[in-house]
Amino acid sequence: MSILSTRKADKIDALAEGGTSLAMDALRRTFRNPVAIIGLVIVALFVILAIIAPFIAPKDPYVPYPELQNQLTPSNIPGPMPGFVLGSDQNGYDFFSRLLVGAQQTLFVGVFATLIGVAIGMVIGGLAGAFGGWVDTVLMRLTDIMLSIPSLLLAISIAALLPGSQWTVIIAVAMIGVPVFARLLRGAMMAQRSSDHVLAATALGVKRRTIVFRHMLPNSIGPVIVQATLTLATAIIDAAALSFLGLGDSDWRRAEWGLMLGKAQELLSVKPSLAFYPAIAIIIVALGFTLLGESMRESLDPKNRR
Amino acid sequence: MALLDVRDLSVVFKRKGTRPFTAVDGVSFSVEPGQTVGLVGESGSGKSVTSLAIMGLLPKRGAEVTGSVTFSDTELLTLSDKQLRDRRGRDLGMVFQDPLSSLNPVITIGLQITEVLERHRGMSRKEARSEAVELLGRVGLPDPQRRIGEYPHQLSGGMRQRVLIAIALACQPKLLIADEPTTALDVTIQAQILSLLSELVSETDTALIMITHDLGVVAGLCDEVNVMYGGRIVERAERHGLFARSRHPYTHGLLESIPRLDAPRGEPLRPIKGSVSDNIEWSQGCAFAPRCPNATDVCWSDPPELVEDRGGMLRCHNPVAAAEDAVTEGAL
């Protein structure tokens, strides 16, 4: 009896700590999930690696080394040797250093492609959800058109139209995400429009702008955040695919996993590790973001609440 | 001059491909300052739609509102959206049915009160905050200083409804519409919330429209009761009159169907048979006729009018206690 009541008191005290918002609550639940922790660790390691890569890379990734170039023949690319952990790449650069620095470039492309996609998608979806009516109809039909084009085809067309640079890849990949984010936010905001608390706020004479930005948007943003995490994974893969197809970045020297993978395709018989390591890196990072995103989605789902 | 005067209010829902549906059909009533008026009826009787129409909260597309709603000499139905927004919350407040879903889950209850105070009373954030603490204290929320920083899911159902009442009363509206404010609450909490409402309303001389299906709520609170059926008012009486001698068979049936502690043991409840979906159109006769124990041929052919009846109003061909009814029948 007394144990029960103390336990209850503890619980009440814990509740009384106050100020735990739904978002905090969801976050707490996310990190009780081992899958989420695995995802988070992978993502965290990747981000840390991306930040410190230039400082820990044993050699300069953008300079050819004569001792590697000397041994370079069309049928032989030097493997590991003292000072060069994974040996040379096809141009006599230090492969290991390029692999490390590649994390940075890959993260850069993934993050910016996702951010641009989220930004444009949220503007479209937000406008459609806030105004409804013909604004909604026009914007959503445009979104439908974008969705009806296969995503990689869309990215390839954009990349083919724009001059080849890293930003071309980013924009092309971002466009794949735009209709998805627009749809997602619009749907969530539509649900909010007819919700009781928005009706209650309207009944209190709260301004339209306040209703949209304070009452509708914050309640609709959860699925967008989750989708953004998942999109980071596909953005990295899509960017790699574009590079692999030789579209986008024209700077062949840039150490980016997708590009490295693309350039390695003719050399699979000579030195398979040139393709193997970037590919594995992409897979692990994409897996990390996917695990994190999926478990976030799970814990934000109201059906899974305690 | 009444504070709120509803004249001949009708709401027709129109949708492509379906028959227009008349949810509210020529409803008239008025509310004096400080008065508590009940709108009673079962689901689908049009009581909530009436309140939404008064507040101007029905969607512009698909709902056709006709008639007039005059609030202290202003016609509400013709106001622009912006003018209406200025009035809502300040002159007209509303408390909804489900306290959890009526609060925004992602912001603190404090912010939800202060945003109204800032909007309508031009308070600074700091003033609004201290006013909000006071308001929460007044509606009986324990430890308002701390609660103000909490989120709706951290409060109990009764506390949430108290918060909603505090929000609705924040700007001292002249009229408060309470749409089934106790339906989602426990019985014990219901009583607390009702007494809180009546206390606050009489303290501040606020007029109250109480929308409910629960005659118990009416008994404790309302000065005047309008019983609605099928979108029309079928009986109006002051509270004691309604309970002592309800005239309309529908009201009578509602009263009969309430379980009573003083009824003999084992006595079955007497429900009103059928459901709202059995209604016939008012144009064909009395909408209640298919479910009415007193229905006669005239009920199936002539729609009854709302006429004066013993100090109240009644819309019935064959009221209960038919013995005294020859006079009323003659008047028709």
Region for residue B200 given its phi and psi (left: phi exceeds 0; alpha: psi -120 to 50; beta: otherwise): alpha
- Cα–Cα distance, A144 to A151 (Å, whole number): 12
Rounded to two decimals, the pTM is 0.78
Question: Beta B224-229 vs B232-238: how paired, if at all?
Answer: antiparallel
- Cα–Cα distance, A156 to A248 (Å, whole number): 9
Would the pLDDT of A125 be above 90? yes
User: In terms of pLDDT, which residue wins out, A293 or B184?
Assistant: A293
Q: Which residues of B touch A206 (CB under 8 A)?
A: 85, 89, 115-116, 119
CATH fold of B4-222 reads Rossmann fold (3.40.50)
Coil, strand or helix at B94: strand
- Tell me which residue of B169, B103, B170, B105 sits closest to A197, measured CA to CA: B103
Q: Residue B313 corresponds to which tokens in the numbers above? A: 């109003």
- Cα–Cα distance, B319 to A306 (Å, whole number): 54
The closest CB to that of A205, out of B104, B120, B164, belongs to B120
Domain boundaries, chain B: 4-222, 229-261+271-331
pLDDT at B322: 43
Interface of A with B in 8-37 (CB under 8 A): 15-16, 18-23
Spell out the residues 6+ positions from residue A2 whose beta carbon is closer than 8 angstroms to its own. none
User: Is residue B183 classed exposed, middle or buried when 0-12, 13-18 and 19+ CB atoms within 10 A define those classes?
Assistant: middle
Domain boundaries, chain A: 107-304
Mean pLDDT of B93-110: 88
Would the pLDDT of B242 be above 50? yes
Residue range A107-304 in CATH 3.90.180.10:
no
B106 and A219 within 8 Å at the Cβ level: the answer is: yes
The closest CB to that of B150, out of A19, A196, A218, belongs to A19
Q: Which residue of B has its CA nearest to A221?
A: B106
- Tell me which residue of B90, B15, B86, B6 sits closest to B50, measured CA to CA: B6
Residue count of chain B: 332
Q: Are B178 and A200 in contact (CB under 8 A)?
A: no
User: In terms of pLDDT, which residue wins out, B266 or B32?
Assistant: B32
Q: What is the full DSSP assignment across A35-58?
A: HHHHHHHHHHHHHHHHHHHHHH-S
pLDDT tens-digit series, residues A146-162: 999 988 888 888 888 88
pLDDT at A145: 92
Q: Are B291 and B272 in contact (CB under 8 A)?
A: yes
pLDDT tens-digit series, residues A250-304: 777 788 888 888 888 888 888 888 888 889 999 999 999 999 888 888 877 655 5
Would the pLDDT of A16 be above 70? no
- Cα–Cα distance, A169 to A241 (Å, whole number): 10
H or E element that contains A297: helix A273-300
The closest CB to that of B167, out of A196, A204, A214, belongs to A204
pLDDT tens-digit series, residues A168-206: 889 999 999 999 999 999 999 999 988 889 999 988 888
Mean pLDDT of chain A: 83
How would residue B325 be classed by pLDDT, with cut points 50, 70 and 90?
very low
